[in-house]
Each structure stands twice: as structure tokens, then as C-alpha cells.
């Protein structure tokens, strides 16, 4: 089965499903937006009834969520649901929306920890809240507290959204078990990312598996499988885990490459932005093994005011050291590994095609 | 039905249940400790496999949870479960343990926001983590990040613990819906507490309802009812909400009185501790309406170094203004309101007796 082109030949009984991956993505996005928009407005209304401070926090979250992102987690959940025999994508929209809210929670706490001011082309939630809340005499500022509470609120929303599913409760419970495990893994990964003293290649690999692969790919596809009625020890669920783990790492490695070499017009982020921010990505750790590259990169890593020529020199060093090519090679190998896992078990062909195309979308993207 | 003494006459078919409230409390506590202890050790082992930074965070949480507290939320959940027809307390232990983990999450984020160093006779989680994690060059310190992530981890644990229930999935889903609502309310309440500019009596009342009553009483009893098979629109569930809301406020008002007048030997907290910390409790807001009392209290409110004579003067002013007596009167009225709600609907008599005695335990306690 090819991973590109239309998949109309595999539609079979799914007459209501669109005939290509791109249209499926559009359909899922439209369903998720249509569900989230009034749902978030209702949450903001509840917050407004409490007081203006609460309303400001809920509104900052609402804006982050509607500003979007690629909704790839929602697409992966819906694809796995179809692949495991689910019929109506609309049945899993509250769970797909819940993953978007989970991401809002994680992004909000991450952005606060990392001091990131911009997210999805607008202010990050901590940056938005700093406008409204001042310092306090003691302890963290009100703006800090409001940022943490914004993340906590989004986490509560994620749970409540998923519980609006109308599917059999046993399936909902199965999906939530996966969610609980993913939430623990993401925190483990973030702790390693923020607090670990040394940063070996092994640590970076573990952070990617825990912090990105778990909630970007594994959680969504396992939840989709559970919602279609697969048990946790189902061969399909196990195969989807084998599909998800390399794909999640490949997704993050592509992110690393885009964060260094990505075209700012496509990514919306400055050239070499990750380097200036001092992110010790797998790409950087790989290149630093070469002493010449290490010197060039060391000159600008974490230097937000680094000069353009120094930045260009560091990017050339990433190339010349072979690090860029090796990371590209790893992405290709991970994509193959992910694709092979899809062939191990019987899946509904249309859904299998969606999952195969998701590999391309996540690992060959330019933004 | 009396709220004190044994309830052996109401045991009926519940032969395995203990014959008094105190023994029931002991039984629930013992079951919860026995469940939590190995469960938390398993979570710490998972964290240790990730790295020492992760292990330190998990261990700080484990210690907070095993150090205890009164486990009143667990007792309330179990009491409501029995009152709505549940038979085996052991069936709801994972949910009761989950409430303890939910509290660990909320206490950890609260203690970080409030700068509280001591909790349950030991270091608060943020204080414990500050020993292990240093500052960072930019943004919040690693200790700050680790404290927030500790709370996030406890929230994930709460969800995972509750999902270990072996009861019918529809009941679990019903209980989790209540949990999601409670989590939103607690965040709303904390936002008002930390970020609201003015602090009227109405604001204080709303904070108490949202921040304390919701997760201390309403969440536990509604979850207990759901786990016993009551629907959300069940008359029993509605009556339990009417029972819970005044009781939760009464509990917090008793806390306010203990925080000012409590015997340090019983509470483990210094005399007048809330005043020195600057907590604008309902008691304080009530007293401040009297200009004389306002002057005496204003002299020490938030002054951690206030002199003993000034503190004694403020406590006398709380008495002389009538504020202490009025708060005592409100607690009595709330307890009556709570008790009346129990009479509105048919409940299993033994469970009703437990819930009635819980009113006494929560509103007439000395620690």
C-alpha cells in the first residue's frame, strides 16, 4: 500500500469517509473546530460568572486552542479509530478535542518554564496573562500563579471533554487509562528536559520518547484503538504502539531539523531559532561530537543576540559534520520501522492507509 | 437519627461493616494506606528508572501522601457509597486513594503559590524539592519547575488510581465526570484567592465554595454516589449535593477558627498562624467590619514577626467584635442545613448515620 495519493480504492463500506488523506484531515479538523468552539465559549462563560480574573485565564486558553496548530493528534486518534473498525469519526470528536486541550495544558506549563513568549503566532498563555496580572509582595507573582492555574484548568477541561464521549463506557475507561499513563510520561520527560544535569544522546532519546512520542502519537493512536473497542492486550493495540514510538521520535527529529534549517516563511519561526534559544536537540548533541562543529555551534548556542554570520557558520557546521544527514537518515529509518508495524496486524484498509500517510505528514513536513 | 454514639442498630445487612463511625474511619484509613503504599512505591520505581531527578520528585510526593492528613475525603466517599447502596467499602478504595492524590496535586501547586514551607508536619513538596534543584540562568528555577511538575504528576496519578476501580465502567465514568467538574471549580477558586484584587465577604464565600467545599465534600460524596450506581439526576445525588455544600463551607469556617484560636498542641500549627501569614479568612473579613477590631488586626495581619502581645490583642479583638461567635453560629446553622438534606431522600440507614457523623467530625473538630 502506498503512503501517498488517494485512498479511494480502500474506502469500501466507509462511504461517508473522504477519499484522500488530505480530505480526511480537513474533515477531522472541521469536526474538532465545530465541537471546540461552542464548548470553549461555554467554559469562558462559566469562568466569567466567577469574576474577571477567572475569565481572563479561560479566555487566554480559548484563544490558544482556537489558534490551532495542525490538530495532528486529533487526526491520529481518528485514523486509529477507523483502522480498528470504528465507523463514524464524529463519535470520537470529544476525545480528539480533549487531546487538543491536553496539549494546551502541556504547552502552557512548558512555555512558563521555558519563558517562551510566542506560541502559534500569538502570545503564549503566560505572556498573555502577564499583561493582566501584576507581581505580589511575596512568593511567585500573580502572573506566575495564573499561568500555572491556566494549565491546570486546561487539564480539567481535557478530562471533561473526553467524558462527553457517547461511546460504551468500557471503551472510554480504556482510553482514559492510556491518557493517565501518557500524562505521567510527559511529566517524566519534562523533568528530564528541565532538571537533568547532563544531556547525553541517551537522555535526549528518552526525553523525545517520553515528552513527544507519548502524547503526540502513542496516546492518540492507542486511545483511538480503545475507543474502537480494542483491549489493551489486543494485537492491534500492541502493533499501534510499535507504529507510534518510532513515528513520534521521527516527528521530533523533523522538528529539530526545521528548528535549525526550516524556511521561516513556512515554519513561522526565525532561521536557526532553536540554536539561539540554546535548545540541546538531538541534532545539536549529534553535531557536538565533532570538535570543529562544537566550536562553531558553541559560539551561538543560547545566544539570542548571535550575529547572522555566526549563525550561518553554525548551520554550515551542522551540515559539514554530517549531523544533518545522519538525522535525516534516522528519520527515514524510523518511518520505515513505523510503516512495517502497520503490516503486522489486520487493520481496516482505509484506516491503515490513513495511518501510513500520517507517517509522511509527520516526518516529511516543511512546517 | 443522632449524629453521635454508635450506629450498630443501623448496620442491618452490612455485617462486615464496623459498628461505629470511628471504627469505620479507621477501616477506611487502613484500606487506603494499604492500597496507596505499594502503589506509590511502584510509581517511585518507575520514576527511578527514568533518572534521579524524576525519582526525587516522585519520592517527595510519596512522602507527602503517606504522611497523611485525616483522609476525610476518602471517608466521605466511602460513606456516600454505603449510603447509596454500595456493599463493600473495598470496592471504592482506588477512588478514595485517588482523592488523596488529587489533594497532593492541589496542595503542591498551592504551597508553591503561597510559599508554604511546612505541610503535614514535614516539608511541603516545593520546600523538599528546593533542596535538590538549583536555580537556572533564565526563567523560573529548576526547583520551581520541579514543583509544578510534581503537582502535574500527582494529577496524573489521581486519574490512573481511580481507573483501577473494578466497578462497572459506567459508574467510573460518572465519578470521573464529577472529578472533572471539581477540578475546574478548584482552579476557579484558587484564581479568585490568589489573583482577585478585592476581597469582599461575597468573594470569600465563593472561594470557600469553589476551593474547599467542592473537592473536600461535594466531589467525594457525589463520586461515592456515582460509584454506587446513582445517576447524576438521581434524587439521592442531588440531596448529597445539598448535604455537601453547607458542610464544605462549615468545614472551612472551622479551619479559620482553628487557624486563629486553635490549640497548637492539637493543630500542630502556631497560635494565630493564619493571621501572621496574612490570610484574609471569613473570620478576619467579618471582624474587619468593626473599626476597633480592624485596627488591632491590621497591626499584625501578614506580619510574620508580630509580637506576642500584638497577636493576643488581635485575638481578643476577634472575640470582642463578635466575629468569633458569629462564625460559630454560622457553622452550627450550616451543620443543621447539611443534616436536613440527609433526611430528604431514602438512604441506607447505616450510610446515612456515617454521613451524619461526618458532619460532627468536620465541623466540631479541634485539629
Contacts of B206 in chain A (CB under 8 A): 50-51
Contacts of B155 in chain A (CB under 8 A): 152, 155, 183
Are the Cβ atoms of A50 and B206 closer than 8 angstroms? yes
Are the Cβ atoms of B176 and A176 closer than 8 angstroms? yes
Provide the grid cell at A204: 535526549
Q: Which of B112, B176, B192 sits opposite A51 (nearest CB)?
A: B192
The shortest C-alpha distance from A266 to chain B (Å) reads: 29
Q: Is B42 on the interface with A (CB under 8 A)?
A: no
Are the Cβ atoms of B148 and A176 closer than 8 angstroms? no
The pLDDT mean for chain B works out to 90
| Range with lowest mean pLDDT among A355-359, B81-85, B136-140, B143-147 | B136-140
Q: How far is CA B312 from CA A36, B200, B278, B320, B367, in A?
A: 55, 25, 15, 12, 20
Tell me how far apart the alpha carbons of residues A49 and A43 are, in angstroms, rounded to a whole number.
Answer: 10
Band of residue B279 on the pLDDT scale cut at 50, 70, 90: confident
Nearest CA among B83, B80, B82, B65 for reference residue B29: B65
In chain A, how long is the greatest CA-to-CA distance? 66
Name the residue with higher pLDDT: B36 or A264.
B36
Averaged pLDDT, B119-124: 90
Q: Is A205 on the interface with B (CB under 8 A)?
A: no
Q: Is A177 on the interface with B (CB under 8 A)?
A: yes
Phi/psi at A241 (nearest 5 deg)?
Answer: -65, -40
Are the Cβ atoms of A181 and B163 closer than 8 angstroms? no
Q: Is B47 on the interface with A (CB under 8 A)?
A: yes
Contacts of A181 in chain B (CB under 8 A): 160
pLDDT on residue B137: 58
Q: What tens digit of pLDDT does each residue of B143-161 get?
A: 999 999 999 999 999 999 9
The shortest C-alpha distance from B47 to chain A (Å) reads: 7
Q: Which single residue is written with the C-alpha cell 492524590?
A: B101
Give the orientation angle of helix A169-195 with respect to helix A142-162, to 10 degrees.
150
| Range with lowest mean pLDDT among A138-142, A167-171, A205-209, B210-214 | A138-142
Phi/psi at A123 (nearest 5 deg)?
Answer: -70, 145
Are the Cβ atoms of A155 and B152 closer than 8 angstroms? yes
pLDDT on residue B14: 46
Q: What pTM was estimated for this model as a whole?
A: 0.92
Sign of CA dihedral A183, A184, A186, A187: positive
Residues B223 and B95: beta-carbon distance below 8 Å: yes
Nearest CA among B71, B53, B75 for reference residue B355: B75
pLDDT on residue B48: 97
Contacts of A227 in chain B (CB under 8 A): none
Q: Point out which residues pair with B122 in neighbouring strands.
A: B119
Name the residue with higher pLDDT: B196 or A248.
A248
In chain B, how long is the greatest CA-to-CA distance? 66
Q: What tens digit of pLDDT does each residue of A299-339 get?
A: 999 888 889 999 999 999 999 999 999 999 999 999 999 99
Q: Which of B53, B140, B188 sits opposite A192 (nearest CB)?
A: B53
Q: Which of A149, A187, A192 sits opposite B187 (nearest CB)?
A: A149
CA B33 to chain centre: 17
Q: Point out which residues pair with B119 in neighbouring strands.
A: B122
Provide the grid cell at A95: 476525545
pLDDT on residue B2: 38
pLDDT at A85 over 90: yes
- Name the CA radius of gyration of chain A, rounded: 21
Q: What tens digit of pLDDT does each residue of B4-31 get?
A: 434 433 434 444 556 689 999 999 999 9
The answer to whether ipTM exceeds 0.90 is: yes
Closest residue of chain B to A142, computed from CA coordinates: B195
Long-range own/partner contacts, residues A327-334 (CB < 8 A, 24 or more apart):
A327/A253, A327/A256, A327/A257, A327/A282, A327/A283, A327/A286, A328/A257, A330/A250, A330/A253, A331/A250, A331/A253, A331/A254, A331/A257, A331/A363, A334/A246, A334/A247, A334/A249, A334/A250, A334/A253, A334/A363
Tell me how far apart the alpha carbons of residues B152 and B35 are, in angstroms, rounded to a whole number.
Answer: 21
Nearest CA among B218, B213, B103, B227 for reference residue B154: B103
Residues of chain B numbered 261-280 and touching chain A (CB < 8 Å): none
Band of residue A272 on the pLDDT scale cut at 50, 70, 90: confident
Mutate to test the interface with B, among A191, A219, A279, A305 (most CBs of B within 10 A): A191
The pLDDT mean for chain A works out to 90
Tell me how far apart the alpha carbons of residues B126 and B108 are, in angstroms, rounded to a whole number.
Answer: 7
Q: Where are the alpha helices (DSSP H) in chain A?
A: 21-50, 52-66, 72-83, 93-114, 125-130, 142-162, 169-195, 201-207, 219-227, 235-261, 264-267, 273-277, 282-287, 291-298, 308-320, 323-342, 349-363
pLDDT on residue B136: 61
Q: Which single residue is written with the C-alpha cell 496548530?
A: A69
Are the Cβ atoms of A50 and B192 closer than 8 angstroms? yes
CA B180 to chain centre: 16
Averaged pLDDT, A55-66: 97
Q: Is A112 on the interface with B (CB under 8 A)?
A: yes
Q: Which residues contact B149 (CB under 8 A, 6 or more apart)?
A: A109, A187, A190, A191, A194, B57
Band of residue A15 on the pLDDT scale cut at 50, 70, 90: very low
Provide the grid cell at A271: 532561521
Q: Where are the alpha helices (DSSP H) in chain B?
A: 21-50, 52-66, 72-83, 93-114, 125-130, 142-162, 169-195, 201-207, 219-227, 235-261, 264-267, 273-277, 282-287, 291-298, 308-320, 323-342, 349-363
pLDDT on residue B5: 38
Residue A30 burial class via C-beta count within 10 angstroms: exposed 0-12, middle 13-18, buried 19 and up? exposed
Most confident range (mean pLDDT) of A129-138, A145-154, B292-301 is A145-154
DSSP conformation letters of A233-250: T-HHHHHHHHHHHHHHHH
Q: Is A51 on the interface with B (CB under 8 A)?
A: yes
Contacts of A168 in chain B (CB under 8 A): 169
Sign of CA dihedral A298, A304, A305, A310: positive
Residues A93 and A31: beta-carbon distance below 8 Å: yes
pLDDT on residue B70: 87
Q: How far is CA B97 from CA A42, A232, B29, in A?
A: 31, 24, 10
Provide the grid cell at A169: 463506557
Q: Which of A112, A187, A194 sits opposite B156 (nearest CB)?
A: A187
pLDDT on residue A201: 84
Amino acid at each position: 500500500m502506498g503512503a501517498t495519493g488517494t485512498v479511494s480504492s480502500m474506502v469500501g463500506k466507509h462511504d461517508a469517509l473522504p477519499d484522500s488523506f488530505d480530505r480526511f484531515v480537513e474533515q477531522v479538523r472541521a469536526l474538532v473546530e465545530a465541537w471546540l468552539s461552542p464548548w470553549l465559549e461555554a467554559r469562558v462563560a462559566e469562568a466569567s460568572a466567577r469574576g474577571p480574573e477567572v475569565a481572563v485565564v479561560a479566555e487566554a486558553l480559548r484563544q490558544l486552542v482556537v489558534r490551532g496548530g495542525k490538530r495532528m493528534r486529533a487526526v491520529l486518534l481518528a485514523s486509529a479509530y477507523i483502522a480498528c473498525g470504528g465507523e463514524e469519526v464524529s463519535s470520537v470528536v470529544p476525545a480528539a478535542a480533549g487531546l487538543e486541550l491536553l496539549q494546551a495544558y502541556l504547552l502552557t506549563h512548558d512555555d512558563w518554564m521555558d519563558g517562551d513568549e510566542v506560541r502559534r503566532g500569538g502570545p503564549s498563555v503566560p505572556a498573555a496573562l502577564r499583561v493582566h496580572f501584576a507581581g505580589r509582595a511575596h512568593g511567585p507573582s500573580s502572573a506566575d500563579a495564573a499561568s500555572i492555574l491556566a494549565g491546570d484548568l486546561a487539564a480539567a477541561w481535557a478530562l471533561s471533554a473526553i467524558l462527553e464521549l457517547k461511546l460504551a463506557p468500557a471503551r472510554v475507561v480504556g482510553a482514559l487509562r492510556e491518557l493517565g499513563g501518557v500524562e505521567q510520561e510527559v511529566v517524566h520527560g519534562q523533568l528530564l528536559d528541565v532538571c537533568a544535569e547532563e544531556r547525553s544522546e541517551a537522555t535526549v532519546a528518552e526525553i523525545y520518547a517520553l515528552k513527544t512520542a507519548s502524547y503526540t502519537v502513542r496516546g492518540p493512536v492507542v486511545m483511538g484503538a480503545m475507543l474502537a473497542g480494542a483491549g489493551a492486550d489486543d494485537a492491534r493495540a500492541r502493533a499501534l504502539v510499535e507504529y507510534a514510538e518510532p513515528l513520534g521520535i521521527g516527528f521530533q527529529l523533523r522538528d529539530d531539523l526545521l528548528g535549525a534549517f526550516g524556511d521561516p516563511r513556512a515554519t513561522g519561526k526565525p532561521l536557526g531559532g532553536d540554536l539561539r534559544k540554546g535548545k540541546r536537540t538531538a541534532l545539536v548533541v549529534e553535531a557536538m561530537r565533532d570538535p570543529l562543529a562544537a566550536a562553531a555551534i558553541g559560539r551561538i548556542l543560547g545566544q539570542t543576540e548571535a550575529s547572522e554570520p555566526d549563525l550561518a557558520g553554525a548551520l554550515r557546521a551542522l551540515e559539514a559534520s554530517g549531523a544533518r544527514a545522519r538525522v535525516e537518515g534516522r528519520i527515514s529509518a524510523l518511518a520505515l520501522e513505523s510503516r512495517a508495524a502497520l503490516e503486522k496486524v489486520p487493520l481496516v484498509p482505509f484506516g491503515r492507509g490513513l495511518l501510513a500517510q500520517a507517517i509522511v505528514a509527520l516526518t516529511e513536513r516543511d512546517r
